[in-house]
Amino acid sequence: MSSNLQDRTIVIFGGTSGIGLAAARQAQAAGARVIVVGFNAAGAERVAAENAFAGWRAADVTRPETIAAALVDIPHVDHLVLLAGTFVAGRVLDAEVDYLRRAFDERIWAAVHTLRALGDRLSRDGSVTFISGALADRPSAQGTAVLAAASAAMEALARGLALELAPVRVNTLSPGTTDTPLLARTLGAHRDAYVAALTEKLPQRRLGTADEVGAAVVFLTSNGLMNGETLHVDGGARLV
């Protein structure tokens, strides 16, 4: 099925590390022409060179003008993957509203601006893949209400766009806690203790890997019947 990506152009926002980079490598191995988009230009250029990707761009997904600039010279996109986004955590009654708003800016509005910037350069027989996350189903009491709402909103947006953009396919990837650089940056010195406590509760007693979740991205892009779906890749975490 991954052969469906042969010679197709796939643009991956957030493709310079973690799940996005794993997906980029697997898509390239399946024959795709991969362009990765990262926040930092030097980092994106380095990752693209190290992996012999077809290209790289830099963009701040909260700034529409940088999204448009990153895409302006790409003539055609078969598959668009939007994985960029930070971990926005803060209690509704305490945190700065502008900070909390970033959860939606990095997800919902970034998707809107990216799709508008691409316009008819997005292939009609291609796909769009969003990312949500386990919080959409199981919000925590640790200041993640707004992020959970933004994650759930991505799933609803994908279902709506599967109709609005038809025949373009639109799906959402919902990973559980995954062992990526973002997890380490988010938790810092508390990472190991958090992971140890979490894995005791998980059915498989481990976190997912970037490669495992990245493979789900490739599946969503290459399977022509996947549309309007949310694919959970969490090792059964939603069950406990």
Q: What's the full length of the chain, in residues?
A: 240
pLDDT, residue 164, reads 98
pLDDT, tens only, 57-113: 999 999 999 999 999 999 999 999 999 999 899 999 999 999 999 999 999 999 999
Q: Each residue of 19-66: pLDDT tens digit?
A: 999 999 999 999 999 999 999 999 999 999 999 999 999 999 999 999
> In angstroms, rounded to a whole number, what is the distance separating the alpha carbons of residues 209 and 23?
12
Which one, of 210, 183, 110, lies nearest residue 153 by Cα? 110
Indicate if the pLDDT at residue 2 is higher than 80.
Answer: no
Burial class (CB in 10 A: 0-12, 13-18, 19+), 78: buried
> Does 182 or 63 have the greater pLDDT score?
63
In eight-state DSSP terms, residue 228 is: S
The pTM of the full predicted model, rounded to 2 decimals, is: 0.92
Tell me how far apart the alpha carbons of residues 139 and 149 are, in angstroms, rounded to a whole number.
Answer: 9
CA–CA distance, 213 with 217 (Å, rounded to integer) = 7
Q: For 2-178+210-232, give the CATH class.
A: alpha beta
- Domain residue ranges in the chain: 2-178+210-232
- The answer to whether 137 and 144 have CB atoms below 8 angstroms apart is no
Q: Model confidence over 220-238: pLDDT tens digits?
A: 999 999 999 999 998 888 8
Which tops the pLDDT comparison, 171 or 238?
Answer: 171
Residue tagged 């508390």 (tokens): 190
* Alpha carbon distance 172, 152 (integer Å): 10
Q: CA dihedral defined by 150, 156, 157, 162, rounded to 10 degrees? A: 160
How far are the Cα atoms of 96, 132, 135 from residue 18, in angstroms, in the given order? Answer: 28, 15, 19
pLDDT in tens, 128-168: 999 999 899 988 878 999 999 999 999 999 999 999 999 99
Question: Using 50, 70 and 90 to split pLDDT, how confident is the model at 207?
Answer: confident
Contact 11, 77 (CB under 8 A): yes
Tell me the sheet residues that pair with 175.
233
Q: Across 22-26, 176-180, 197-201, which has the greatest mean pLDDT?
A: 22-26
Please check the confidence at residue 3 and state whether its pLDDT lies above 70.
Answer: no
